[in-house]
Amino acid sequence: MNSDTIIELVEKIEQSVNDLNEIIYAEKKRSVYAIQKFVRQSEFFQAQANGLKPECVVVINAFEYNNEEFCYLEGKKFKIYRAFQIKNSERVELYLTDVVGENNVTT
Q: What pLDDT is recorded for position 105?
A: 46
CATH of domain 5-14+24-98: 2.40.10
pLDDT of res. 44: 60
Cβ neighbourhood burial of 54 (10 Å; 0-12, 13-18, 19+): buried
What is the pLDDT, as a whole number, of residue 60? 95
Q: Report the alpha-carbon angle 16-21-27, nearest 5.
A: 30
pLDDT value, residue 102: 55
List the pLDDT tens digit at each of the 107 positions of the chain: 556 899 999 998 888 888 888 888 888 999 999 999 877 666 665 655 566 666 788 999 999 999 999 999 998 899 998 898 999 999 999 999 887 655 544 44
